């Protein structure tokens, strides 16, 4: 019997489309995995199912009831419980208080004592830590707490969003064994994972989500051998990459091209911690002049932190950064801009109440020590706007643009500062297929015109198609470095991206 049915679901944030006609079902007692690369819309699907995000179209039917527009707090009472991405435990409350809150709604509250016993049996470590504040737990313990808290709500459908996120392999195994145990108790589970191997190790069925749609649905039979799983994933990625059909041809190495052998950017022993968490550790990278450098790595690998460190939004805990031979760590973002570093942001940071052209003009006006006139700036922004293809929307308010367009606007704005070194943080995210291809051409042109580019991107085929040199990060450290051809051949990299298969099934 079908427990959850999503049909033709459409949803997004502020005008951008993330889910575009998604169909999915979860049967009673079934374990279903929802897989896909970052930005495919997995977490958005979870937000729509739990009611944190209101869909703009389609239906959510749960247990035969249409709950499409139910408020979030009513859905918990219906038996939909989510262990959210990033855990979201209540940091200043004790473990037991967190668990009690999990059974806040009356249906679950009646069975609180009994549920507590059950989750403590499932996660013995939580019983040991019951008096401790949740904020002081380790990442793995927090993950268990988030799952236990969701179980306290006596779910008919348990949603797990990235339970593997940031976990060490050993703990990962514990967490997934527990998921298997929960599944045996008859609770339906919808599991969202980036670590496809781990997810497929517990699921009976799997969906592959790409650009807001289900592109592939596979049954348990197809999942039986681990060889198939990898094929499945490569196929999925290929599909995403189809219009580009990138060939990983060898591109001329940058250093040979330029006369100046000194790297434009030198990073030495860079380290940054947040509280106890090490986001970037002992990282050394050279960016050669006129190079196109790609940085990849799974979620939480420290990629955006790296950009924040380079641009002065964060100060390193240790290590040095040199730009054109000058030490720059400790400088502010505006200093970096004046020194010729431009950047786009992962989360869109356009100025929504300003028109497109005014956004870009702001980029042109203040980027050098010598101020230019407004007329000059207007002249100067024409080229960047044309490059990214926004020249017809100059008078539109930036806030009304779609997500992909806002990303392009940010690119234009960064270009208007006339950077020597351009740092791109997921500039393709939110752009439809056709635009990705177009944007790749734009970036090639920018690079050809002499700009050094450091690019972070989740779309692997984009990086493979553009970058001359690739650095792979994992847990804040450099995992691998080499040409695109070397990167795709390296088993370590494949593992980081697609996960390790479990030995026990």
**Closest approach of Cβ 30 to another protein, in Å?**
21
Q: Tell me: does residue 131 bind another protein (CB under 8 A).
A: no
Q: Tell me: does residue 244 bind another protein (CB under 8 A).
A: no
Nearest to 11 by CA among 65, 63, 62, 68: 68
Q: Which of residues 148-167 bind another protein (CB under 8 A)?
A: 149-150, 153
Strands (E), 227-311: 265-274, 277-287, 292-296
Of the pair 240, 311, the CB lying nearest another protein is at 311
**Closest approach of Cβ 129 to another protein, in Å?**
18
**Closest approach of Cβ 357 to another protein, in Å?**
11
Of the pair 246, 338, the CB lying nearest another protein is at 338
Residue 216, both tokens: 């592939």
Of the pair 81, 428, the CB lying nearest another protein is at 81
Residue 248, both tokens: 């990983």
CA dihedral (417, 421, 422, 425) in degrees, to 10, reads: -130
- Residue 330 CA to residue 352 CA, distance in Å, equals 30
Q: Which of residues 437-496 bind another protein (CB under 8 A)?
A: none
- Residue 218 CA to residue 232 CA, distance in Å, equals 9
Residue 346, both tokens: 């992962």
Among 8, 71, 169, 450, binds another protein (CB under 8 A): 71
**Closest approach of Cβ 47 to another protein, in Å?**
8
User: What is the torsional sign of CA 223, 227, 233, 235?
Assistant: negative
Furthest CA-CA distance within the chain: 75
Of the pair 7, 94, the CB lying nearest another protein is at 94
Q: Which of residues 320-339 bind another protein (CB under 8 A)?
A: 332-334, 336-338
**Closest approach of Cβ 349 to another protein, in Å?**
4
- Residue 296 CA to residue 482 CA, distance in Å, equals 12
Of the pair 339, 461, the CB lying nearest another protein is at 339
Residue 67, both tokens: 């709950």
- Residue 63 CA to residue 7 CA, distance in Å, equals 14
Q: Tell me: does residue 180 bind another protein (CB under 8 A).
A: no
Binding to another protein by CB under 8 A, coded x per residue (else -) over 400-439, reads -------------xx--x----------------------
Q: Are 248 and 488 in contact (CB under 8 A)?
A: yes
Of the pair 413, 478, the CB lying nearest another protein is at 413
Q: Are 498 and 196 in contact (CB under 8 A)?
A: yes
Neighbours of 402 (CB within 10 A): 17
Residue 282, both tokens: 């002992």
Nearest to 307 by CA among 263, 347, 250: 347
Q: Tell me: does residue 352 bind another protein (CB under 8 A).
A: yes
Q: Could you tell me how many residues of this chain bind another protein (CB under 8 A)?
A: 61
Of the pair 361, 479, the CB lying nearest another protein is at 361
Q: Which of residues 75-104 bind another protein (CB under 8 A)?
A: 75-77, 81-82, 84, 88-93, 97, 100-102, 104
Q: Which residues are near another protein by CB under 8 A?
A: 50-52, 71-77, 81-82, 84, 88-93, 97, 100-102, 104-105, 108-109, 149-150, 153, 311, 313, 332-334, 336-338, 342-343, 345, 349-354, 358, 361-363, 365-368, 371, 374, 377, 413-414, 417
């Amino acid at each position: 019997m079908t427990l959850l049915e999503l049909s033709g679901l459409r949803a997004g944030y502020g005008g951008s489309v993330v889910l575009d006609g998604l169909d999915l079902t979860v049967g009673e007692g079934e374990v279903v995995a929802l897989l896909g690369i970052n930005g495919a819309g997995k977490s958005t699907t979870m937000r729509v199912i739990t009611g944190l995000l209101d869909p703009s179209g389609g239906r959510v039917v749960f247990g035969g009831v249409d709950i499409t527009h139910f408020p979030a707090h009513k859905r918990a009472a219906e038996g939909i419980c989510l262990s959210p991405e990033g855990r979201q435990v209540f940091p200043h409350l004790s473990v037991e208080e967190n668990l009690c809150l999990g059974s806040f709604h009356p249906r679950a509250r009646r069975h609180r004592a009994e549920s507590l016993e059950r989750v403590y049996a499932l996660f013995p470590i939580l019983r040991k830590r019951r008096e401790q504040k949740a904020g002081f737990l380790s990442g793995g313990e927090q993950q268990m707490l988030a799952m236990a808290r969701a179980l306290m709500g006596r779910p008919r459908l348990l949603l797990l969003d990235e339970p593997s996120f940031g976990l060490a392999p050993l703990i990962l195994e514990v967490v997934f064994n527990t998921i298997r145990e929960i599944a045996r108790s008859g609770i339906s589970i919808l599991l969202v994972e980036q670590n496809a191997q781990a997810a497929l190790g517990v699921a009976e069925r799997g969906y592959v989500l790409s650009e807001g749609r289900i592109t592939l649905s596979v049954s348990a039979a197809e999942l039986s051998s681990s060889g198939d799983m990898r094929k499945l994933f490569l196929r999925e990625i290929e599909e995403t990459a189809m219009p580009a059909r990138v060939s990983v041809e060898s591109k001329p190495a940058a250093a040979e091209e330029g006369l100046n052998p000194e790297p434009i950017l030198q990073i030495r022993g860079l380290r940054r911690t947040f509280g106890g968490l090490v986001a970037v550790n002992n990282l050394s990278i050279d960016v050669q002049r006129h190079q196109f450098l790609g940085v990849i790595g799974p979620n939480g690998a420290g990629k955006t932190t790296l950009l924040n460190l380079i641009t002065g939004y964060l100060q390193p805990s240790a290590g040095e950064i040199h730009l054109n031979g000058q030490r720059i760590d400790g400088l502010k973002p505006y200093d970096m801009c004046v020194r010729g570093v431009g950047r786009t942001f992962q989360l869109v940071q356009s100025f929504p109440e300003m028109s497109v052209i005014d956004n870009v003009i702001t980029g042109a006006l203040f980027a050098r020590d010598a101020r230019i006139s407004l007329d000059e700036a207007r002249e100067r922004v024409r080229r960047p706007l044309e490059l990214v293809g926004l020249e017809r929307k100059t008078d539109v308010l930036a806030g009304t643009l779609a997500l992909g367009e806002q990303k392009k606007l940010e690119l234009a704005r960064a270009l208007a500062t006339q950077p020597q070194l351009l740092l791109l943080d997921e500039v393709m995210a939110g752009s439809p297929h056709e635009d990705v291809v177009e944007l790749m051409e734009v970036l090639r042109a920018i690079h050809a015109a002499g700009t050094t580019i450091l690019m972070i991107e989740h779309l692997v085929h984009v990086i493979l198609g553009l970058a001359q040199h690739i650095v792979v990060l994992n847990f804040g450290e450099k995992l691998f470095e080499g040409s695109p051809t070397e990167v795709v051949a390296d088993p370590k990299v494949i593992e980081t991206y697609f996960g390790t298969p479990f030995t026990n099934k």
